[in-house]
Structure 1
Amino acid sequence: MRRMTTNAHDSDSMPERLQEGSAAPDFTLPAVVPDSTEDSSITLSEVLKAGRKVVLYFYPAAMTPGCTTEACDFRDNLARLASKNVTVLGVSKDSLDKLRKFAQRDHLTFPLLSDPDLTVHKLYGAYGEKKLYGKVHVGVIRSTLVINSDGSVAIARYNVRAKGHVDSLLKVLEKLEKLEK
């Protein structure tokens, strides 16, 4: 697993998207964790040591309609994901204060990570050019990656739709589970 440096503003080129089989870059980000009043930080390699897969999903902005739909979909399917040996982590550029309000308002029961300088977004290819209403913009690309406990990328999906995404992800996880047996 590649170790990330925290000041990765070294390149203005568009980040490359990760593919299945790629090594997932390691990172540590500040986080809002359910049932904790303290801010903490989460390191990907530490989470992976528990032997679970990680669903790492990137979303543009907390408390917006699409991002709320997606977060609540993950929240509502957390038990199903946990039964597949999966831990969910949401990542946005929002501040910890905004993430705390988002988690409280929508009763989110998984960690939300803050990446205000977009370093981790760029490492994972979740920031770059995207089309919006027929025009090309540069911004956060709604993306979901599933990372195996060995640090390799099992699933990499970019430009996902907020609605129905978790059901689709669960179907792919079930197929992977059958292949692993």
Structure 2
Amino acid sequence: MRDDYDKFKTQNAEILAIAPHSLERTRKYWTSHSLLFPCLADQERTVFKLYDVRSRLLSLGQRPGLYIIDTDGALRFAHVGSQQWHIPSNERVLARLDEMARPADNK
């Protein structure tokens, strides 16, 4: 998402990442990778549990989740991967945002 951050901003999307690590570890990672969007350090995995994105027996670490929530607070897209690398492409997410931005009669 970092590489296409400007495209997400053009779509009026706000990105919020959630990391299953301590605040210090998350801050170091964010700083070293020059990430522009905010990140919540969720070492206790509170938010992961709320969205039912829990690690499973065969998953190698924290499973990824990606959600699009519209300005009314409605969930418009959800993806939960079975492994860390199972995430939708930026192109797929941007296409979904584009669909959401079109008037209902043009969809």
Do the two structures share a fold, i.e. TM-score over 0.5?
Answer: yes
Which TM-score applies when normalising by structure 1? 0.51
Q: Give the equivalent residue in structure 1 for 2:86.
A: 161
Q: Which consecutive residues of structure 2, in runs of 5 or more, have no partner in the other structure?
A: none
CA RMSD of aligned residues (A): 2.1
Which structure's residues are more often strand, by fraction? 1
Structure 1 CA distance for aligned equivalents of residues 78 and 92 of structure 2: 13
* Matched-pair contact (CA < 8 Å) for 1:127–1:139: no
**Deviation of 1:84 (Å):** 1.1
**Out of 75, 85, 102, which is 1:178 matched to?**
102
Structure 2 CA distance for aligned equivalents of residues 89 and 148 of structure 1: 13
Structure 2 CA distance for aligned equivalents of residues 98 and 138 of structure 1: 19
Structure 1 CA distance for aligned equivalents of residues 103 and 36 of structure 2: 29
Name which structure has the greater RCO, CA cutoff 8 Å, separation 6+. 1
Paired residue type of 1:96: L
Q: Give the equivalent residue in structure 2 for 1:109.
A: 36
**Deviation of 1:140 (Å):** 2.2
Structure 1 CA distance for aligned equivalents of residues 103 and 90 of structure 2: 20
Structure 2 CA distance for aligned equivalents of residues 121 and 176 of structure 1: 25
**Deviation of 1:139 (Å):** 5.0
**Out of 65, 73, 76, which is 1:143 matched to?**
65
Which TM-score applies when normalising by structure 2? 0.82
Q: Give the equivalent residue in structure 2 for 1:98.
A: 25
Structure 2 CA distance for aligned equivalents of residues 121 and 93 of structure 1: 8
Structure 2 CA distance for aligned equivalents of residues 161 and 137 of structure 1: 11
* Alpha carbons of structure 1 residues 138 and 99: separation in structure 2 relative to 1, 3 Å: closer
TM alignment of 1:51-130, pairs within 5 A: 74-129=1-56
Q: Which consecutive residues of structure 1, in runs of 5 or more, have no partner in the other structure?
A: 1-73, 131-135
* Matched-pair contact (CA < 8 Å) for 1:127–1:138: no
* Alpha carbons of structure 1 residues 137 and 107: separation in structure 2 relative to 1, 3 Å: closer
